[in-house]
Amino acid sequence: MSFEDNPIIQHIMSHRSIRRFKKGVKIPESHVETILRAGQQASTSCSGQMYSFIRISSRLRDQVFAACGKQDFVSGASEFFILCVDKYRLDRLVERAGGTPRSWPLASLVIGVMDLGLAAQNIALAAEALGYGIVFCGSCADRAEELIKLLELPEKVVPITGLAIGVPDESPPTRPRIPLKAVYHMDRYDIPSDEELDHWIEEMGAKLTQEGYYQKYAGREETYTWKHHLVRKFGGKWLERIEETRRDVLKRQGFL
């Protein structure tokens, strides 16, 4: 079997985020359990499994919707989860095993985020393999303080992202990525030229403009492209605000 015919490779290559879901469709409990078990099967550092998946029921969905910036897919998806780094449970397990939990904030955070990231990707792949669509919700981390109170998270449990799962009510194309050459290096880091960087910006912008991506999902003017998005998100105040908010949350939750 060639890699083009491999169903797993095809599945990975066909990923696209879904932001519009069919409403009122329930996902069978057996599917929910399978999806979460797939998350648990991801690689994890020293079997620590430093994550928790919080499923949001209809009872709290409206409040989580408000806390996460009122994005339609939070309320419209069949299922919505808050995915957290969780050192609280690991510390309790260490105590029950006869040890004394140690505080290594940076190491714990890096390991926890890595564990959660791998589990989250497995969850997403499993959901898509069962025919559902998914989209991650980064604004959950931006509003972590509200979620910590709402979900009664103990110390050393921190929301990192949300994940919406449901039956797609749209069929968008796969979204572009910068060329493999940009991220693939052999033995040493290849410094890209200004011309290469400009080409990657132009190529990404053209493909997203063709779909009308920023107009469809963010209500931006037609002249808004990936170039403007890069500057606004990673060259402006957005990262500064994220840095301050997350540092405060991590301190309050006992990570820093």
Per-residue pLDDT in tens (0 to 9) along the chain, 256 residues: 567 788 889 999 999 999 999 999 999 999 999 999 999 999 999 999 999 999 999 999 999 999 888 889 999 999 999 999 999 999 999 999 999 998 888 899 999 999 999 999 999 999 999 999 999 998 888 888 899 999 999 999 999 999 999 999 999 999 999 999 999 999 999 999 999 999 999 999 999 999 999 999 888 998 999 999 999 989 888 888 888 888 888 888 988 7
**Nearest CA-CA partner of 60 in 126, 140, 169, 120:** 140
Decide: 212 and 195 in contact? Cβ < 8 Å.
no
The pLDDT of residue 243: 84
Query: How far is CA 146 from each of CA 3, 72, 208, rounded to the nearest angstrom?
Result: 45, 18, 33
The pLDDT of residue 148: 94
CA 220 to chain centre: 23
Using only the alpha carbons of the chain, give its radius of gyration: 20
Domain ranges of the chain: 3-172, 175-256
Decide: 172 and 211 in contact? Cβ < 8 Å.
yes
Query: How far is CA 50 from each of CA 41, 89, 122, 223, rounded to the nearest angstrom?
Result: 13, 8, 15, 43
The pLDDT of residue 150: 94
What span, in angstroms and rounded, lies between the C-alpha atoms of 217 and 207?
Answer: 15
The pLDDT of residue 189: 97
Torsion sign, CA atoms 144, 149, 155, 159: negative
What span, in angstroms and rounded, lies between the C-alpha atoms of 71 and 160?
Answer: 17
Element (H, E) at 158: strand 157-166
The pLDDT of residue 42: 98
The pLDDT of residue 255: 81
Decide: 211 and 190 in contact? Cβ < 8 Å.
no
Superfamily of domain 3-172: NADH Oxidase (3.40.109.10)
Q: Strands of 133-137's sheet, edge to edge?
A: 51-55, 79-86, 157-166, 133-137
Assessment of whether the complete model's pTM goes beyond 0.75: yes
